[in-house]
Amino acid sequence: MAVVNDPLEPVRTWGERIGLLSRFAWVVLSCGVFGILAAVSVASVPGILAAVTAGPEAIQAVFWGVAIALAFLLLLYAITFIGRREAEARLAGGMTARAPAGAAEVDEADAFVLYSPPGFVDDLKTHLEKGKVGWGQRALYVGVDGARSWLRVSEHEDYDISEGKLRSAFADVMARVDRPLGSLVSLGPGDGKVDAALMSLLGGKGSRPSYVPIDISEGLLLLTMKRLRMEHAGAPMPFGVLGDFEYGWDAFRHLLAGQPRPRLFSILGNTVSNLDAGLQKFFPTFWSGVAENDYVLFDVLLGNFDERLGAGDAGTYDPNLLFPDGEMMRRYKAFIGEGARRVSMDYRVYDEEHGRLTQWLKVHRTREPVDGYDQLHLQYHGEGDSKTIFKWRRYRDTKNLENWLTVSLQGCEVLGHVDVTDDGLTTRLILLRRNAAPAAQAL
């Protein structure tokens, strides 16, 4: 079974292909039935009477014809239903695999294994076709368009922290880990570059952890797995998880329970600051799946948005002020604009010709002096409709954040943090460990 050559090309399972064929057959049959009804409606009464009085053989033939047509329609419906269920767990080689206890039972050496919680693929399909209310900024990344749009940003040379500085920061913060790691579980890996650098460091420390990425974007998930397979061929990669870890974390806990321990959960790329629910709502649920002696590594951006929005307090701003001149920022604005179209279902929010976000989008700024952060909400305001498109947050410092983590999360210890500055932007890596968690609350 071959690995997908282009992870950003749509992958259809056999069930999905049959489902598409059945839809086409539905259309053809519907047209045929409509044509028959139309012909009957214009037929003369004598013609109808002649057909009825032609004899029992004619009536019997009509009956069997209708019965066969109905049976065929029911068969097509069953095939479509099966195709949708098969789409919930699949191999990236284009085949479908079902495993009663999860993807861990699927063992294909030359394929990527993806697990998806029941119902998620249907939700994803509904969003791509009609727009799913409630996904917020997570919807910016889904689908082939979302993945390609994000890669145009992340592949630009000005986006990534320089590899040397990143590896040095990882080495400093991971020096606080005093035992070999069994697994690296990555939440929102993006294009996989950061995870590849982290795996290189972990491999250099003598451990050979398995790697499990979790993402809402199938394209980015497959790209990450392909990158890690190429750069770290010896690292076990049992499966990837296509799903919504922000609101669907409970569905992943038991799947991840079987991974070698201690586990390192990484939430990098400023994912924590962009959460729809916010850190205070997400972390308690997430922490319930972190077992004793597991580690968590995440990052936040330091500073504020004064350089772009001025030193004012709370207020409403033109979102274009957030994107200074430059090719990378032009791509980032396009990513936000195209995603805003998908979230709002309003094409007017982004002027592609001039590269501008339009008046239908506004940035609402809040500053929290106690918690020490500067937060922006990009919101869509349409006719009687309002939706949050994206969130950004930067911290003056993380003292209050770290205190909240240790007080609110049982057994949480902040092992330390390391700052890395590149092109005037400072990212803080924070390492946590769970200590002495009661057995009933650990996986």
CATH code, domain with 204: 3.40.50.150
Q: Is the confidence at residue 5, as pLDDT, over 50? A: no
Looking at the structure, do residues 165 and 278 belong to the same domain, yes or no? Answer: yes
66 domain-assigned: yes
Looking at the structure, do residues 407 and 280 belong to the same domain, yes or no? Answer: yes
The 10s digit of each residue's pLDDT in 396-427 is 889 999 999 999 999 999 999 999 988 778 99
Longest dimension (CA), the chain: 93
- Return the top range by mean pLDDT from 57-66, 73-82, 271-280, 386-395: 386-395
Domain boundary among 105, 120, 139: 105
298 domain-assigned: yes
Looking at the structure, do residues 100 and 167 belong to the same domain, yes or no? Answer: no
State if pTM tops 0.85: no
349 domain-assigned: no
27 domain-assigned: yes
The 10s digit of each residue's pLDDT in 220-230 is 999 999 999 99
- Predicted local distance difference test score (pLDDT) of residue 53: 57
155 domain-assigned: no
434 domain-assigned: yes
Looking at the structure, do residues 297 and 186 belong to the same domain, yes or no? Answer: yes
Q: CB-based contacts of 296: which residues, under 8 Å, 6+ apart?
A: 264, 265, 266, 267, 290, 431, 432, 433, 434
Domain range spanning residue 42?
14-105
Helix 14-42 to helix 56-86 angle, to the nearest 10 degrees?
A: 150
Q: Is the confidence at residue 54, as pLDDT, over 70? A: no
Q: How far is CA 256 from the centre of its chain?
A: 17
Contact status, residue 375 vs residue 391, Cβ threshold 8 Å: yes
Angle at 163 between CA 161 and CA 169, to 5 degrees: 80
- Predicted local distance difference test score (pLDDT) of residue 157: 84
Split at pLDDT 50, 70, 90, the class of 99 is very low
Looking at the structure, do residues 73 and 190 belong to the same domain, yes or no? Answer: no
Number of independent structural domains in the chain: 2
Domain boundary among 105, 121, 137: 105
Looking at the structure, do residues 261 and 168 belong to the same domain, yes or no? Answer: yes
Looking at the structure, do residues 175 and 281 belong to the same domain, yes or no? Answer: yes
Terminal-residue alpha carbon distance, the chain: 33
The 10s digit of each residue's pLDDT in 63-79 is 677 778 777 777 766 66
Looking at the structure, do residues 35 and 172 belong to the same domain, yes or no? Answer: no
Domain boundary among 89, 105, 121: 105
Looking at the structure, do residues 68 and 171 belong to the same domain, yes or no? Answer: no
Looking at the structure, do residues 183 and 99 belong to the same domain, yes or no? Answer: no
The residue among 233 and 323 whose pLDDT is bigger is: 323
376 domain-assigned: no
Helix 218-231 to helix 193-204 angle, to the nearest 10 degrees?
A: 30
122 domain-assigned: no
Over residues 339-357, the mean pLDDT reads 90
- Predicted local distance difference test score (pLDDT) of residue 291: 94
Looking at the structure, do residues 296 and 406 belong to the same domain, yes or no? Answer: yes
Looking at the structure, do residues 211 and 297 belong to the same domain, yes or no? Answer: yes
Q: Which SS3 state, helix, strand or coil, does residue 157 take? A: coil
Contact status, residue 219 vs residue 8, Cβ threshold 8 Å: yes
